[in-house]
Structure 1
Amino acid sequence: MEQQDIFELLVKVQEHTLSPEEALNKLKLSPFEDLGYAKVDHHRSLRQGTCEVIYGAGKTPEQILGIATSMDKHGETNIIITRLSEQTADFLSDKLQLFYDSTSKIGIVNRKINYTASGSIVIATGGTSDIPVAEEAALTAEALGNHVLRLYDVGVSGVQRLFHNMEFITNANVIIAVAGMEGALASIIGGLSDCPVIAVPTSVGYGANFGGLSALLAMLNSCASGVSVVNIDNGFGAGYLASMINHMGGKKS
């Protein structure tokens, strides 16, 4: 939507020929910016509360730069780029204000720490090998305005490590359980907590793990109530969903 179109909408609201609610709905459906190789949705934050997220895998460095630059010109902060290679991150760093984490392969343009939810999100991993996926979730949630507490390497092979952190489990508004192998961590946490648990199966494991399929099926068949499951290695999806839940409010801070 061009500035003139927005101005005319505002005039109609001022003249009481259009209600504020009707004007807002029109703004939510405004056109995107067509770059040829991408159509950048600048009103995503108006509709969903957060700006568009750039999936980095499969895009050229120049394409990612073009999309991020377009969003930057519209004043967007905390522009998340997932699955960003180190080589492309180096390319972008010369042209944008980029924060990059090589562990999770998350890039954030114009990073700004601004907590907009009072509750906390706990992210727990079964093992150290699950940390890359967990950090994808953690950095996503932090960029979206959440307090994040990391509990890493607290899996069922030494479950006393999880019990040692029960204070954090019971005070969380949302918990993300990240695990490979047999994926049992989500069920254990689900049985110990009174908040939503988002299970993230990872591709960590030996041959019969089938690239995370065994953990995925185990989490889908969890007997603990309140456990939902995202796709294999989808830390971003878990962090985004946890942020949405946390921003709905909660009993804890």
Structure 2
Amino acid sequence: MDNKHDILELLWAVKAGETTPEDALLELKQKPFEDLGYAKVDFHRSVRQGAAEVIYGAGKTAGQIAGIAAAMGERGCRNILITRMGEEAAQVVAQSVPLDYRSIPRLGIAFPGERTALGHIVVATGGTSDMPVAEEAALTAEVMGNKVTRLYDVGVAGLHRLLSNLEPLMSARCVVAVAGMEGALASVVGGLVDCPVVAVPTSVGYGASFGGLSALLAMLNSCASGCSVVNIDNGFGAGYLASMINQMEGLQ
């Protein structure tokens, strides 16, 4: 049992008399994780959280990444996200499992399959240099079943670029604002839209930006209401949170 849909089907089968309660219990008791020695793969995460476990690629060998992805694929997991994975590792992993790799955000999608596109999330960046983090957020949201609009290089240094895209911003259920330097984009967007804004500070900037710390502090001190902040360069976390917000809105 790897997702809520499978469990519901099993429960309906018990109700219809197509399977016994004892057999259903046995299926549910199947081990919820597999110990590979170097990793304990959580197969029941999608049951608890609605999304399969995400593989954090940094610090793992290509063999470890491939082994985890293969174990998940054998249990029926699809569209498995692998974040922060370099191109060399991706080439090795692709020899073992089906892989859609995107080099800009260093993100892989193992066992890619059909995806839904619910609601509307906007991912906006202050500059082109913020794209790696923004693409991590956008692809994460897309893999999790959301419609995403990208608005790149619309920072406050040329505010007219942002203001010319008010229609997609104002029709969004959530906006992810990705910016380095002084991180002002999140406050500006937060003052324009009526939906939650997820601010992502990036490490883009000169010396006094302190590797994204200045943008982080600026976003944490935003005067715009409804603006939350994730960690520096955490595009994945922003895309995941935006997906949860968007899909909760869709249930109303």
Q: TM-score over 0.5 for the alignment?
A: yes
Counterpart residue number, 1:47: 48
- The answer to whether 1:112 aligns with 2:113 is yes
Scaled by the length of structure 2, what TM-score is found?
0.88
**1:28/1:46 contact within 8 Å kept:** no
Unaligned runs of 5+ in 2: 2-6
Q: Match of 1:240, as an amino acid?
A: Y
Q: Are 1:90 and 2:91 counterparts? A: yes
Q: CA RMSD in A?
A: 2.6
Measure, in 1, the Cα distance between the counterparts of 2:132 and 2:48: 30
Distance 1:221 1:246 in 2: 24
- Separation in 1, partners of 2:151, 2:140: 16
Q: Distance in 2 between matches of 1:113 and 1:70?
A: 20
Residue pairs, 1:1-253, within 5 angstroms: 27=28, 31-115=32-116, 117=118, 119-250=119-250
Structure 1 residue runs without a partner (length 5+): none
Cα offset, 1:96, TM superposition: 1.1
Q: Which amino acid aligns with 1:141?
A: A
**CA separation of 1:28/1:179 partners in 2, compared to 1, >3 Å: closer, same or farther?**
farther
After superposition, give the CA deviation of every residue in 1:73-92 in whole Å (9 maximum; x if it has no partner): 01111000000010000001
Deviation, structure 1 residue 27: 4.6
How high is the TM-score relative to the length of structure 1?
Answer: 0.88
- Helix, strand or coil: the match of 1:103? coil
Post-superposition shift, 1:104? Answer: 0.2
Between the aligned partners of 1:62 and 1:251, the Cα distance in structure 2 is 40
CA 1:171–1:51: 2 relative to 1, 3 Å: same
